[in-house]
Amino acid sequence: MKVIIAGAGIGGLTAALSLNKYGIEVKVFESVSELSPLGVGINVLPHASRELIALGLQDKLDSFAIRTTSMQYFTRRGKQIISVPCGEHAGYNWPQYSLHRGEFQMMLLATLRQRAGDDSVVSGHQLSGFEQDEHGVTASFVDPSGRQLPDQRGDILIGADGLHSTARKQLYPDEGAPVYSGMICFRGAVVGDPYLDGQSMIICGDKRLRLVSYPISRREKDQGRSHINWIAAVPFATDKPQEENWNKETNADNLLELYEDWDFNWLNVPDLIHQTEQIFEFPVYDRDPLQRWTFGRVTLLGDAAHPLIPVSSSGAVHAIIDGRALAYALAKNKDAQTGLQAYQQDRLPKANHVVVASRQNGPDEVLEIVREKCPEDAENIHEYVDKQLLQGVIDGFKERSGFAIDTLNKLDSYDLTD
């Protein structure tokens, strides 16, 4: 079996590493001319980190990532709403990691080239279309200038080519544009003094204005510092399409005005923003859930299959799980198309549920409950809101999304060696 993957993002590379582990020939084609670290911070939750650990990546992750101790929710005045332990601290058998997305992607890329050969990933190849027959699939590619490149032949084509997936567009030519969430995110990272225990993720504010932040560097932590990743989520209603560019830099002045009074005794948000040299601005989009990913010898994975609003750190997590589930299904089924159907049957309903739950605010709904029930100047949130109610919202999301502690700890991973 030979598998062609379009897209060398986190999902595509995880799928390739997993396929290689089972002795399945795989080649990844990436649209950019040169792969380089992109993005800032992401979180890898236990149901994804267990799959990376099964790939033998734990030591590499621990060399640069933070093992997250807790997820802590705060009001826009810096008063704690609830603190929830993460990873092993919560009783999972695996850690939760906070890390730099680009560093993570480069680690996956280097590992794949080491295990499968330097030619396992080819850059400068943008998928432009495909044709399939009873014997295989032919994928067509163009270079960054639009020049046609030689076709590639394989048994299977995996569209892991992101929100604007060419594979998805050919399968669903009438789908239209992605769905704008009404929110713009501003992202940055800066080295500074640790806050709280130096290993916690914080979510502050509510739907009107929100800030998410967490440390992303084990190396800085070992030196007593913190590489602080932050995301400011700002509602922005408009009928005009927003420019989708992960590398669009912006000015901090407007943000500083919005967050000028977010000075907590444990974190000064205006200082955090002011000290950040590069701030990136991007609108948040997703797509409506699909009822089918697999068409014969072609299927979708990660953001191409189910782009997610960035709630509960789900995007990279489910791309990783997709990649592992795909390889597992193909390794267990000698017939390629049967394997793709098994992958779809397993992953599609789970991923679609997360798409819908993320649109409904996921575990971050605790912020809205407190906003509705609690005066803004309240010193003790739990005088107005039962802590068990808040814990129930978070636990309910985990249960519905398939990573409640007891459920996950008893569940087999996508590894044939288990």
Write out pLDDT tens, residues 367-387.
999 999 999 888 899 999 999
CB 178 within 8 A of CB 47: no
CB 101 within 8 A of CB 39: yes
Helices (runs of H) and strands (runs of E) counted in the chain: 13, 18
Residue 250 confidence (pLDDT): 83
DSSP state, 27? E
Residue 102 confidence (pLDDT): 93
Reading the block at residue 356, the tokens are 């819908």
Q: What is the pLDDT of residues 117-149, one digit of tens each?
A: 999 999 999 999 999 999 999 999 999 999 999
Residue 251 confidence (pLDDT): 82
Q: What is the pLDDT of residues 66-77, one digit of tens each?
A: 999 999 999 999
pLDDT tens sequence for the chain (418 residues): 999 999 999 999 999 999 999 999 999 999 999 988 877 899 999 999 999 999 999 999 999 999 999 999 999 999 999 999 999 999 999 999 999 999 999 999 999 999 999 999 999 999 999 999 999 999 999 999 999 999 999 999 999 999 999 999 999 999 988 888 888 999 999 999 999 999 999 999 998 999 999 999 999 999 999 999 999 999 987 777 666 666 778 888 879 999 999 999 899 999 999 999 999 988 888 889 999 999 999 999 999 999 887 765 678 999 999 999 999 999 999 899 999 999 999 999 999 988 887 777 778 899 999 999 999 888 899 999 999 999 999 998 888 777 899 999 999 889 887 5
Distance CA 402, CA 339 (A): 22
Residue 311 confidence (pLDDT): 64
Backbone angles phi, psi at 25, to 5 degrees: -65, 130
How far is CA 80 from each of CA 72, 84, 265, 267, rounded to the nearest angstrom? 7, 11, 12, 13
* Residues, the chain: 418
Residue 243 confidence (pLDDT): 65
The CA-based diameter of the chain, rounded to the nearest angstrom, is 67
Residue 286 confidence (pLDDT): 85
Distance CA 14, CA 200 (A): 26
Distance CA 184, CA 377 (A): 27
Residue with tokens 């974190």: 267
Distance CA 178, CA 356 (A): 15
Distance CA 92, CA 68 (A): 12
Distance in angstroms between the alpha carbons of the first and the last residue of the chain: 23
Residue 376 confidence (pLDDT): 86
Distance CA 301, CA 307 (A): 10
Q: What is the pTM (predicted TM-score) of this model?
A: 0.94
How many alpha carbons lie under 13 Å from residue 411 in its C-beta half-sphere? 16
Nearest to 210 by CA among 362, 58, 408: 362
Residue 86 confidence (pLDDT): 96
CB 279 within 8 A of CB 230: no
Q: What is the pLDDT of residues 178-223, one digit of tens each?
A: 888 888 999 999 999 999 999 999 999 998 999 999 999 999 999 9
How far is CA 387 from each of CA 44, 72, 83, 85, 380, rounded to the nearest angstrom? 26, 13, 10, 15, 11
